[in-house]
Amino acid sequence: MSITYLKNNVLQCMKFARQQNRAGRKLWTNVLEIPFVEYAVTTRCTLRCKKCSNLIPEFKSKTDISLERAKREISRFLEYVDYVYRFKIHGGEPFLYPWLPEFLNWLSSSDKIGEIRISTNGTVFPGDLLLESMKKTKVIVFVSGYPKTIAPKRKEILQLLVDHKVRIRDLDDQVWYDTGGCSEREMSDSELQKMIRDCAMANSKALYNDYFYLCSRCANGERLGYFTEMSKVRLSGDTENVREQLKKMYELKTCTGCRHCDSVNQNGIPIPPAEQYQEKI
């Protein structure tokens, strides 16, 4: 077991296991647990953020993942891993996803998923069915801390969630960093390795179309045709082989998408969150 894998996977899992009052994995066991993974259910959004790290405004066709497809892709992923501590639903804007209540109920029933996170931009009021499904103990809703000019009903939405006993995190101190456009950067291998090591998004692995990516920006960058991601793992075939490839994702020294990004780290320059496009892009 490498020091990099120990830091990026095992120690993260042990930390989250303590938070979730779960025994968790042991250093000497042949267990594959995932600290954090994201799944985008829609490219629809109520906002058009200029510096969206997930590149959502660039999708010309806004679509939802069907519930059947979402269940199929996640079920396949769970066949290869032993446990997922934090499963994040994002988009786009997840509250626009028409099957979110059913999806949450289904995820909550899995004994392989610990915490279910939903990120919302604070502009969409959840309906009664969604509010009921978000009461489940596994679910935490993260509400972006955008200014009133962008999310004027944010405080009302927060209060609605509280009134319905939904667990929330109010990201009122949220800081954005500019990840830049998707043109390829000139950088050495050592510079790339440092970027992967320091990037906050690198530990937020992502699922899309039966592939496991370093992050959601890598997945969306490939979907938009900016590059072909060479480091992604296909969730198909021999179980042990796939598990070994998934483990190697926590030891990456190269990633195509990272050469097309400025990364997210605390040494970057903060920017105003959620600045909007006024014109078509």
- Provide the CATH number for the domain around residue 175: 3.20.20.70
Assess whether pLDDT exceeds 80 at residue 252: yes
Classify residue 102: in a domain, yes or no: yes
User: Considering the chain, what is the average pLDDT of its residues?
Assistant: 94
Question: 25 pLDDT band (50/70/90 cuts)?
Answer: low
* Residue 73, in any domain of the structure: yes
For residue 279, tell me if it sits in a domain. no
3-state secondary structure the chain: CCHHHHHHHHHHHHHHHHHCCCCCCCCCCCCCEEEEEEEECECCCCCCECCCCCCHHHCCCCCECCHHHHHHHHHHHHHHCCEEEEEEEECCCHHHCCCHHHHHHHHHCCCCEEEEEEEECCCCCCCHHHHHHCCCCCEEEEEECCCCCCCCCHHHHHHHHHHCCCCEEEECCCCEECCCCCCCCCCCHHHHHHHHHHCHHHHCEEEECCEEECCHHHHHHHHCCCCCCCCCEECCCCHHHHHHHHHHHHHCCCCCHHHHCCCCCCCCCEECCCCECCCCC
Indicate whether 27 belongs to any domain.
no
Asked, for residue 138, whether it belongs to a domain, the answer is yes
pLDDT digits (tens, 9 = 90+) for 211-237: 999 999 999 999 999 999 999 999 999
Host domain of residue 119: 3-19+33-271
- pLDDT classification of 30: cutoffs 50, 70, 90: confident
Predicted structure pTM score? 0.95
Q: Specify if 199 maps to a domain.
A: yes
pLDDT at 24 over 70: no
pLDDT of 266: 77
The total number of structural domains in the chain stands at: 1
Asked if pLDDT for residue 281 goes beyond 80, the answer is: no
For the chain, percent of residues with pLDDT exceeding 70: 98
pLDDT, tens digit, 9 for 90 and up, residues 77-115: 999 999 999 999 999 999 999 999 999 999 999 999 999
Average pLDDT over residues 52-68: 96
Q: Give residue 174's pLDDT.
A: 86
Residue 27 has pLDDT above 70, yes or no: no
| Angstrom distance (rounded) from CA 102 to CA 124 | 18
Evaluate whether residue 278 is within a structural domain.
no
**Beta strands 211-213 and 233-234, pairing class:** antiparallel
- What is the identity of the amino acid at 15? K
pLDDT surpasses 90 at 34? yes
Examine residue 164 and state whether it is found in any structural domain, yes or no: yes
- pLDDT, tens only, 136-152: 999 999 999 999 999 99
The pLDDT value recorded for residue 1 is: 72
Of 24-28, 155-159, 251-255, 269-273, the one with minimum mean pLDDT is 24-28
